Amino acid sequence: MDFSLRPWTENDLSNLVKYANNPKIAKNLTDKFPHPYTVEFGKQFITMANENSPPTVLAIDIAGEAIGAIGIHPQSDIQCKNAEMGYWLAEPYWGKGIISKAVARMVDYGFKHLTIDRIFARPFGTNIASQKVLEKAGFVLEGRFEKTLHKHGEDLDELVYAARRGNWVVDKSPSKP
């Protein structure tokens, strides 16, 4: 399925709220991603997504419709050569191979536009789908920490996957991020 990655616009607000307001998505993300997902939070998110130049949080777009988000968040201080990746995809598009390709494109984008050497993601131990996404995209499991996260009254394992600039093969296809 064809998709693109692009900056968020105010016109994306209704689709953002429609797709993000899903407990199945929120359960696999940090508590900063609320449920219910309100219009006010959507406005704040779009503003935040457009704060950096180049943007580091992009919309996943199919036919002009924002159907998910993917971002890389540069770290600071002694972690300044690292960026954390986060993503979500609208439920109707799950299982179509979109997010693995979006992750790979975003890594290409990050290594092209940022002075980082490592992009990491931290899926919950219970989120097998996200683990498979990262592995399919070329990430390597670097560590597993038992019961370090707390979500909805449950202690969860935290996994750390990463892609490193020195090992990453940049996609040479002509497609944009």
Domains and CATH numbers, the chain: 4-167 (3.40.630.30)
pLDDT tens digit sequence for 12-63: 999 999 999 999 999 999 999 999 999 999 999 999 999 999 999 999 999 9
Q: Is the pTM of this model over 0.75?
A: yes
Task: Identify the H or E element spanning 159.
Answer: strand 154-164
d(CA 40, CA 84): 25
Q: How many CB atoms lie within 10 A of CB 98?
A: 20
What whole-number distance in Å separates Cα of residue 15 and Cα of residue 22?
12
Tokens of 173: 């296809």
- How far apart, in Å, are the Cα atoms of 66 and each of 3, 44, 83, 128? 10, 16, 23, 24
Condensed to tens digits (0 to 9), the pLDDT of residues 81-100 reads: 999 999 999 999 999 999 99
Angstrom distance (rounded) from CA 104 to CA 57: 14
Contacts of 48 (CB under 8 A, 6+ apart): 57
